Structures are given as C-alpha cells and as structure tokens.
C-alpha cells in the first residue's frame, strides 16, 4: 500500500497522505470516498469561481458570448458575474488596457478579497497586442497585476476562455493549504495590495511594478 506513495501524482488531484491514487480509485469503485480538507476546499472554490463583471474591449464581447446559452460558462460554475469586486474571485482582463484605465483596473484588483485570480484574455491584455506601439496602451496587465492564466487570441473564442477557465480550475485544485509550497493567498508575507500607478506626464508612474515585471534585457554583442 505504501509502494507508490512517494511517486509524484500525474493528476491535478494529488493523493492525500500515504494513500496512492490507485488505491483511492479502488476504494472509490467500492463506494468509499476519501478526501482531505485541502481537496474539499479546492474542489469547492474551483467550481464556484465568480468573475468580476467588467469588460474593456472586444474580448469582452467574447466573454459575454461565453456566458450565454450557446457556450454556457455556467457548466463550470463561473456564471455569476459579480458587479462588485468585494464578491468576485476572478478578474478577467478582457481587452485593451489603456493607460488611462490601468489605475482603475489595479484598484479593482486590490479591492477584491483573497483568494483571487487573474486571467489576461486576448493579445491586448497580455502584451498590448496590435496596439503595442501605441502611446496610450499598457503593454500587458502583468506589469501591475499577477496574472495566473494567459489566453492568446485576437480575440480568443469563447471556447478558448472556457479552456482558460478549466486551466485555472486545475491550478486551484493543485494549490496547497499548508507546507512549503503553500498557495499565494495563504502566505502572510505576500502583498495583499499592489501599488496603483499615477498618471505621469508621458507615461504611468511607475510604468510597471518592478516586483512583478522586469523588462527583458537584450544582451548587446560587442
């Protein structure tokens, strides 16, 4: 019974304690369901991710489509779009983040309670997308907010958003509530709030959060 206990689990549901996944599966077939507090906690919250109801650009139309009957995000328990950040678990940054909008998005993120997750939906939210060279577009929301899932596309189809959501669910299910690789929101040393940029003369001040984002340095050849 303890033969494969130390082997890493390939599933997003790691075995609890000393019982292997195989043994648990055998028990489950015989009508005995084993679980742990961690699994129960993650199972509950991964199936009830409430997104914040806001859209920034065309990706928001695809997000709305994902919420309608054809794609039906309710199948994954994420259909309750909350109009207040106090009740939201997930921020879907759907669209172009202009520099005028960026402080508002960061403030909304700060006002969401832990545990909270961020999905950068579409090329604009990831990197600025087709407007990357624009003077007024933030080149990726991950300069100010820790992003959990990136969904490429311009715009991504609703299926892509659903895939991103299931990936986020898998991520949540793998989170630990204790130990050295404890989840981010349970660590007291991690910041609960991120600094909100100000409107500067030419750019946001600061242009990025150095704790989250370091611009890539290109090595110059002599």
Partner 1 sequence: MSENPHAFLALFLGVALAFPLILLTVAWLWVRFFQRARPGKIKNATYECGLEASGDSWIQFKAHYYLYAILFLIFDVEVLFLLPFAVAFTGLSSGALIAMLVFILLLVEGLVWAWHRGHLEWK
Helix (H, G, I), strand (E, B) or coil at 176: strand
Nearer to partner 1, 108 or 170 (CB): 108
Nearer to partner 1, 113 or 130 (CB): 113
Helix (H, G, I), strand (E, B) or coil at 105: helix
Say which DSSP state 147 is in: -
Using CA of residue 178, residue 185, residue 67, residue 60, what is the dihedral sign? negative
Residues in contact with partner 1, total (CB under 8 A)?
20
Alpha carbon 172 to chain centroid, angstroms: 9
Q: Tell me which of 5, 27, 186, 211 binds partner 1, using CB under 8 A.
A: 186
Taking CB under 8 A as the rule, does residue 107 contact partner 1? yes
Say which DSSP state 51 is in: B
Residue 170 CB, nearest distance to partner 1 (Å)? 21
* Burial of residue 94, with CB atoms counted within 10 A of its CB: 0-12 exposed, 13-18 middle, 19 or more buried: buried
Return the ∠ at Cα 149 (arms to 78 and 72), rounded to 5°: 25
What does R_g of the chain's alpha carbons equal in angstroms?
Answer: 20
- DSSP per-residue codes, 68-84: STTT-GGGGT----BSS
Return the ∠ at Cα 162 (arms to 58 and 12), rounded to 5°: 145
Q: Tell me which of 58, 61, 64, 108 binds partner 1, using CB under 8 A.
A: 108
Confirm if 122 and 155 have CB atoms less than 8 A apart: yes
Residue 84 CB, nearest distance to partner 1 (Å)? 6
CA distance 140 to 208: 10
Taking CB under 8 A as the rule, does residue 206 contact partner 1? no
Site string for partner 1, 115-154 (x = CB under 8 A): x---------------------------------------
Taking CB under 8 A as the rule, does residue 193 contact partner 1? yes
Taking CB under 8 A as the rule, does residue 105 contact partner 1? yes
Q: Tell me which of 75, 136, 192, 199 binds partner 1, using CB under 8 A.
A: 192
Q: What length does the chain have? A: 222
Q: Tell me which of 19, 104, 160, 170 binds partner 1, using CB under 8 A.
A: 104
Range 55-84, binding partner 1 (CB under 8 A): 84
Taking CB under 8 A as the rule, does residue 205 contact partner 1? no
Range 3-32, binding partner 1 (CB under 8 A): none
Residue 202 CB, nearest distance to partner 1 (Å)? 22
Interface residues with partner 1 (CB under 8 A) are 84-86, 103-105, 107-108, 110-111, 113-115, 177, 185-186, 188, 192-193, 196
């Amino acid at each position: 019974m303890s033969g494969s206990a130390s082997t890493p689990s390939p599933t997003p549901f790691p075995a609890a304690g000393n019982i292997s996944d195989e043994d648990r599966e055998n028990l489950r077939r015989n009508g005995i369901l084993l679980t742990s507090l961690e699994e129960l906690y993650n199972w509950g919250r991964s199936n009830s991710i409430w997104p914040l109801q806001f859209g920034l650009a065309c990706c928001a139309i695809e997000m709305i489509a994902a919420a309608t009957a054809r794609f039906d995000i309710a199948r994954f328990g994420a259909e309750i779009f909350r109009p207040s950040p106090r009740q939201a678990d997930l921020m879907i940054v759907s669209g172009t983040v202009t520099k005028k909008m960026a402080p508002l998005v960061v403030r909304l993120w700060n006002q969401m309670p832990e545990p909270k997750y961020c999905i950068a939906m579409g090329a604009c939210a990831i990197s600025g997308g087709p407007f990357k060279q624009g003077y007024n577009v933030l080149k990726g929301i991950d300069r100010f907010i820790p992003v959990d899932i990136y969904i490429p596309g311009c715009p991504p189809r609703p299926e892509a958003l659903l895939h991103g959501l299931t990936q986020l669910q898998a991520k949540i299910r793998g989170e630990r509530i204790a130990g050295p690789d404890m989840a981010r929101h349970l660590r007291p040393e991690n910041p609960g709030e991120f600094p909100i940029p100000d409107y500067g003369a030419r750019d946001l001040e600061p242009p990025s959060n150095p704790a989250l984002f370091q611009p890539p340095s290109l090595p110059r050849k002599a």
